[in-house]
């Protein structure tokens, strides 16, 4: 399903007045995907945390940047310099920028960040056509989270565009998860994440029910009783285990923020069990050489093209950190091992997740 939206680039310049002066008030109980209004409004109390300082630094660096929306992005199944791969990668760089700007606004109450975030949201919601390719669109979760953070301060015009954007995404993926329900791998995991976030952002119970139903069916097909996932046997790579579990864990987090428990659902075919399966690799108790027995030809094609992460190499525990940070958000008992893995890898945790969802130390 593709809908052509008309770009209104005259609105992309930063406004002299705060965007909040141009909107209609919305309820404090408005729908949200991942970040409720109370959490968003409470961020200012954490503006001196290490995570906040890093995010605001990045947000400040982005204030003079320009959005790069495209009607279509496509990197799935292609190599660098093929088709629109390079243009798509450049456009996708907007997504973390949007999130940084939205977080910076909530941390500082500075309208410059809000206006910049508004410009990015409006640009993408006005130009992009939902493709229903979940690999191409998976990183658009950052657009949805940024909208959570700014919704109550945005102009009505941006909220209308974003509502249409979310509706196309939610209704499109609601159909796609049913059509592709025999897909036991990571593609379905990414479809479920995008459906779950957009359905909760719209606050429509019928769509939320479809997301949960798809999630429940998928974990039974995807996660074995020992916690291993379908893609491990297809790709022979921990890279694809984490790539499969991260979107499901985001869906679990969205559900938790709405009072629903998906993380341990379906045990032993649960996301929690699957993350337990990853832990010995994350802590170094087990090691794995990646992609040696992959059944997917494109993995060999990418390795042959010099994209080293798809050739045979030993998996590094740092590759699990985003997944472990999400899991520790869902289950605080996992926080210690998450921090141990980060320390051993010499890496930091996902700053926006810690800022939004981990208690202040």
How confident is the model over 143-155, as pLDDT tens digits?
Answer: 999 999 999 999 9
**Rounded Cα–Cα distance for residues 305 and 77 (Å):** 13
**Rounded Cα–Cα distance for residues 182 and 281 (Å):** 28
* β-strand partners of 289: 314
Distance of CA 331 to the CA centre of its chain: 19
Secondary structure, 3-state, the chain: CCCCCCCCHHHCCCCCCCHHHHCCCCCCCCCCCCCCHHHHHCHHHHCCCHHHHHHHHHHHHHCCCCCCCCCCCCCCCCCCCCCCHHHHHHHHCHHHHHHHHHHHHHHHCCHHHHHHHHHHHHHHHHHCCCCCCHHHHHHHHHHHHHHHHHHHHCCHHHHHHHHHHHHHHHHHHHHHHHHCCCCCCHHHHHHHHHHHHHHHHHCCHHHHHHHHHHHHHHHHHHECCCCCEHHHHHHCCHHHHHHHHHHHHHHHHHHHHCCCCCCCCCCCCCHHHHHHHHHHHHCCCCCCECCCCCCCHHHHHHHHCCCHHHCCCECCHHHHHHHHHHHHHHCHHHHHHHHHHHHHHCCCCCHHHHHHHCCCC
**Rounded Cα–Cα distance for residues 122 and 125 (Å):** 5
Residues of the chain where predicted confidence (pLDDT) is lower than 50? 1-21
Distance of CA 9 to the CA centre of its chain: 26
* C-alpha torsion sign, points 237, 243, 244, 249: positive
Q: What is this structure's pTM?
A: 0.92
| Tokens encoding 353 | 């997740």
CA 4 vs CA 8, 128, 166, 175, 310: distances in Å: 13, 8, 14, 19, 36
Nearest Cα to 89, choosing from 68, 120, 65, 59? 68
* β-strand partners of 223: 229
Give the chain's length.
361
**Degrees, nearest 5: CA angle 242-246-250:** 170
Q: What local confidence, expressed as pLDDT, does residue 12 receive?
A: 35
| Tokens encoding 296 | 């997917």
Residue 328 contacts residue 263 (beta carbons within 8 Å): no
Nearest Cα to 218, choosing from 226, 116, 210, 318? 210
Q: What local confidence, expressed as pLDDT, does residue 5 receive?
A: 34
Q: What local confidence, expressed as pLDDT, does residue 277 receive?
A: 98
CA-atom Rg of the chain in angstroms:
20
Structural domains in the chain, CATH included, are 32-357 (1.50.10.100)
* C-alpha torsion sign, points 125, 78, 192, 355: negative
**Rounded Cα–Cα distance for residues 101 and 119 (Å):** 10
């Amino acid at each position: 399903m593709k809908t052509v939206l008309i770009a209104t680039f005259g609105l992309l310049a930063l406004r002299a007045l705060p965007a909040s002066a141009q909107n209609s008030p919305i309820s404090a109980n408005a729908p949200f995907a991942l970040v409720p209004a109370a959490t968003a409004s409470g961020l200012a109390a954490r503006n001196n945390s290490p995570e906040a300082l890093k995010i605001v630094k990045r947000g400040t660096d982005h204030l003079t940047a320009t959005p790069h929306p495209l009607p279509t992005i496509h990197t799935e199944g292609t190599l660098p310099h093929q088709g629109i791969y390079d243009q798509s990668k450049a456009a996708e760089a907007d997504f973390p920028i949007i999130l940084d700007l939205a977080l910076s606004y909530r941390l500082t109450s500075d309208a410059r960040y809000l206006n910049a975030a508004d410009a990015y949201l409006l640009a993408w919601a006005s130009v992009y056509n939902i493709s229903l390719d979940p690999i191409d669109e998976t990183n658009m979760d950052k657009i949805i989270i940024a909208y959570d953070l700014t919704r109550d301060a945005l102009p009505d015009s941006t909220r209308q565009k974003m509502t249409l954007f979310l509706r196309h995404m939610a209704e499109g993926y609601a159909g796609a998860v049913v059509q592709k329900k025999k897909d036991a791998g990571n593609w379905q995991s990414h479809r479920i994440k995008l459906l779950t976030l957009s359905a909760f952002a719209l606050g429509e119970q019928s769509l939320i029910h479809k997301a949960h139903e798809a999630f429940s069916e998928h974990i039974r097909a995807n996660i074995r009783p020992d916690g291993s996932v379908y893609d491990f046997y297809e790709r022979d790579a921990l890279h694809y285990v984490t790539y499969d579990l991260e979107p499901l864990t985001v869906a679990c987090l969205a559900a938790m923020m709405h009072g629903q428990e998906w993380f341990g659902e379906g045990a032993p075919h649960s996301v929690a069990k699957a993350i337990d399966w990853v832990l010995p690799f994350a802590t170094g108790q087990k090691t794995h050489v990646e992609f040696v027995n992959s059944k997917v030809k494109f993995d060999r094609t990418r390795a042959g093209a010099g994209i080293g992460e798809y050739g045979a190499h030993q998996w590094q525990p740092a590759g699990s950190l985003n997944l472990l940070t999400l899991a520790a958000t869902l289950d605080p008992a996992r926080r210690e091992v998450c921090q141990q893995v980060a320390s051993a890898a010499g890496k930091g945790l996902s700053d926006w997740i810690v800022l939004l969802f981990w208690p202040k130390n």
